[in-house]
Structure 1
Amino acid sequence: MSPTADPKANSVVIPIAEDETPPHDKQKQQPEQRQEYSFSSLLHSLLPLLPQVNTRWLIHSAKVGLALVLVSLLYMLDVVHDRLGDNAMWAVMTVVVVFEFTSGATIGKGINRGIGTILGGGLGSSVALLAQEIGGIGKAIVIGASLFIFGGMATYSRMIPSFKKKYDYGAIIFILTFSLIAVTGIRGDHILKIASDRLSAICMGFVICIVISLFIFPMWAGDQLHNSLASKFDKLACSIEECLEDNIKPLDEKKGTQQAYPHGSCLAVLSSKSSDETLANFAKWEPWHGRFGFYYPWNKYLQIGELLRELAAYILSLRECLRSKEEPLRSCAMMDIGDYYRATCILLASTLRELGHNICDMKKSQQSDSILAKFEMTRSELCSTMLVSKLAKLMNRNSGIGGGISSTSIVFLLSVITDKIEVIVKEADELEKLARFSHT
């Protein structure tokens, strides 16, 4: 084609029907319909999530929302606003920072906030009044020195572990309130009124939080700690039963299910230390509810939980020993100690499950003496001369010493687990006496 040729000569024209429009034009003409479809699709995508909603979280969210509504209504009242002024907003701040998931945590933070506000406000007012009396350059010196001394002392107290567990939030509020009142007093008047108004607003917010937390679907930290301790026994019992199943299954079946049993139960017990200590701290703030009275032995729960974590570590070691790569040596070893192994695992698992049920139902065990007697017999069987001779024969029969070492490790771990559970039985019996469990 020559350069001067008409380009339209070789072009192809596709006719468009009258009722047809380009796709982008259709999108421009139907924006509302597309929005409707997206909204309905959003609803359909949210419907499957409804069964997964945590009811307890939903209740807590509704309680916080109710507390915010009530405290905001108080702020809107002319009587409250005329009395407190803008300091009434401290009631809203109190609800936001104090309202926690459990009643014990709410009470603990509220009391800490009240004590910190009283001490910080009182001391800050005294320092501000003293600074105003001195006047001149002495005012800045007094304010600066007091902030350095009391702020540093409060910060140092937060580093003490025993103080930090219960009163860390109170120390923070003390530093904040003391600094605000003291600094405000440099250029402001009516220092005592400002401090009292803020304290009144904080008390109003705290009262609203306590009433809603205690009387509307209360969630107790003590109940959570109690149920958590009882569930640990069942988890460890299941782990021991899995160790027994590993021994019973044939070799080819084990290879197919080597990863079928995760260590989730034992790992969950091992990682429960922080949550247990937090729940125990909150539970000590809670009032009498149900069968959990004042001075309930929550520290005993922590002691038993620590023993259960040690037991979980030994159970994990036993499972790894049972799943040794030297499968023929391990299978040969289990042929000689299989009866002892099975009997011991059944006893340990049943004992743990019974202890967990008794603690969950808060019932006294009727067979603690017989259980201890069985443990004594089991220990003597594990350490008997007959078992030692079998291990010696096993070591002589194998060309190497791997099978003997595997058997010795299994017997040793079983013996340690037996001793640890025996200690737990005694601690659980002491808990029954301190907590006054019922006989039925």
Structure 2
Amino acid sequence: MLGMNSSTVVVLPVVALPIQDGASSPKKNKILSRLISSLLHCLTEMKGIHKHRNLIHSIKVGLALVLVSLLYLLDPLFEEVGDNAMWAIMTVVVVFEFYAGATLGKGLNRGIGTIVGGSLGCSAAILAQSLSQIGKASAIGTSVFVFGAAATYTRLIPRIKKRYDYGVMIFILTFNLVIVSGVRADKVIELARDRLSTIGMGFAVCVSTSLLIFPVWASDELHSSTASKFNKLASSIEGCLEEYFKGIEEKKDNQSETSFNACKSVLHSKSTDESLANFARWEPWHGKFGFSHPWHKYLQIGDSLSELAASILSLKGCLQSHQQPTPVLMRQHSIKKPCEAVASQLVYTLRELGDSIINMKRFSPAVLIVAKLQLSRIELSEAVLPCMLRTLPDDDGFAMAGFVFLLMEMVDMVEKLAKEVEELADYAGFPQQLKYPDLW
């Protein structure tokens, strides 16, 4: 080959391989099935997108900042807005929140506060320009004092502070900036118009990014967290009864203790629920939730759940107290069966109420649930008659009475919860789910 001339042409034999259609089609079908299965897998994984919400939120904020930075980067846009583009960037940084409702509410507060504050500031600045130098300074100072003090007082009202605190703060800021800058600037109206337009651009970028790209709804968060609290408290009641009637030898061997972390989380969730309810009121119609969904009922249910969680936590004293009846057989034969019957009814009712909320269906009417709970409470009260308690020592009798009293208090609280869930179903229009109630 090394001695071969450059003009030498080497012809290699070409072997034609037969194409088997029957063998290639199964391969194509296999590839197609794999593609379909991978696509379905991706679609199912989208349901668990909430596990990566922090990462997605960070990407959304970065994307919004890139979009709004085009006002500076592109010459045609910069020639239109100029240095006022910084207000759009500030709007994205300040307004963009984790939940879509929080972003929308904060953006609307910022927009309304800017419009009202800018309008009043321009009007006051224009009127002050017709006065003398001393009169102009006096008019502007008086306007700043009156509007600033009035807006600050309004901001301290609890109802205003809960939903419109940010808007009132932006009003104070915009009013002062416009009226003070109007003293030295000739074109006050143009200045306010340019700033308002750039703030509107930033708001539009925030809302479109937050609502269109994997939105995180505060309403879904509040709805699911409220329903999950019922199951948490039901599991805690089961653990309490199991721990209370456990034998002394089992306690020494297993050293098991009831976990009250779920009850503590329910107690400490009030501020979070209030924030989620406030954000949910700003959210548009989506999924199962409309504009007039009764979010205030979720807060009422949350308060009742906190009371029930506090009662469950008080059982911790009964479990850890040394004054409980030492003869385990005495405790088991006297109140074990009625207490377990009440506890099972409480657990069943709580889980049914939680399922009713999460599925947005009516399962059993509150009247039927209350009747079952009252019957179980009567059976429990008959099991601990005063004559039975007199047969026990004073300490044992009082300890058993305290435990039974807490259970009966829980029955009243669950009855209240059943009525509140039914009111929520009435306000939200839950459809009736056909389900035959369990018989005693």
Give the TM-score of the pair, scaled to structure 1. Answer: 0.83
Other-structure match for 1:411? 404
Question: Which of 345, 349, 352 is the matching residue for 2:350?
Answer: 352
Distance in 2 (CA, whole Å) between partners of 1:131 and 1:329 is 86
SS in 2 for 1:284: helix
Shift of 1:391: 3.9
CA contact (8 A) 2:311 2:410 kept: yes
1:75-94 superposed matches below 5 A: 75-94=72-91
Distance 1:179 1:259 in 2: 63
List aligned pairs for 1:174-253, cutoff 5 A: 174-253=171-250
Moved more, 351-360 or 95-104: 351-360
Matched with 1:302 is 299
Q: Give, as a single letter, the amino acid of the residue that structure 1 aligns with 2:405.
A: F
Are positions 1:128 and 2:125 aligned together? yes
Unaligned regions of 5+ residues in structure 1, if any?
1-52
Amino acid at match of 2:136: K
How high is the TM-score relative to the length of structure 2?
0.83
Number of equivalences:
384
Cα contact 1:363–1:437 (8 A) shared by 2: yes
Give the whole-Å Cα distance in 2 for the aligned partners of 1:198 and 1:434: 43
Native 8 Å contact 1:379 1:415 kept in 2: yes
Residues 391 and 408, structure 1, Cα contact 8 Å, conserved in 2: no
Summarize the alignment of residues 19-34 of structure 1 with structure 2, pairs less than 5 Å apart. none
Match of 2:287 among 282, 287, 290: 290
Residue ranges of structure 2 left out of the alignment (5+ in a row) = 1-49, 434-440
How many Å apart are 1:83 and its aligned residue?
2.4
Give me the whole-angstrom Cα distance separating, in 2, the residues matched to 1:318 and 1:391: 22
Q: CA deviation at 1:207?
A: 0.6
Q: AA paired with 1:375?
A: L
Contact 2:263 2:309 in 1 (8 A): yes
2:45 paired residue number: none
In 1, Cα distance between the equivalents of 2:422 and 2:223?
A: 16
Deviation at 1:148, TM superposition (A): 1.1
State the AA in 2 paired with 1:372: V
**1:72 alignment partner, SS class:** helix
- What letter is aligned with 2:421? A
CA deviation string 1:78-137 (max 9, x = no partner): 333222221111011000010111110001000000010001111111121122211311
**What aligned pairs does 1:56-135 form with structure 2 within 5 A after superposition?**
56-135=53-132
Q: Cα deviation per residue 1:328-355 (whole Å; 9 max; x = unaligned)?
A: 4484445411111111111111111111
Kept in 1: contact 2:243–2:257 (CA 8 A):
no
CA distance in 1, matches of 2:128, 2:357: 59
Match of 1:7 in 2: none
Show the counterpart of 1:340: 338
Give 1:96's aligned amino acid. V
Q: Do the aligned residues in 2 keep the contact of 1:330 with 1:403 (CA within 8 Å)?
A: no
The answer to whether the 8 Å contact 2:238/2:343 transfers is yes
The Cα of 1:410 is off from its aligned counterpart by 1.1
1:256 to partner: Cα distance: 5.5
1:429 to 418, 422, 427: 422
Percent identity, aligned pairs only, is 53
Contact persistence 1:307–1:420 (CA under 8 A): yes
Contact 2:236 2:258 in 1 (8 A): no
CA distance in 2, matches of 1:252, 1:163: 59
| 2:291 partner SS | coil
* Compared CA separation, residues 256 and 119, structure 1 to 2 (3 A): farther
Structure 1 residue 368: deviation in Å? 4.3
Native 8 Å contact 1:92 1:205 kept in 2: yes
Q: 1:361-440 alignment to 2 at 5 Å?
A: 361-366=359-364, 368-384=366-382, 387-394=384-391, 397-398=392-393, 401-440=394-433
RMSD over equivalenced CA pairs, Å: 1.9
Q: Could you say which residue in structure 2 is the equivalent of 1:143?
A: 140
Distance 1:258 1:272 in 2: 30
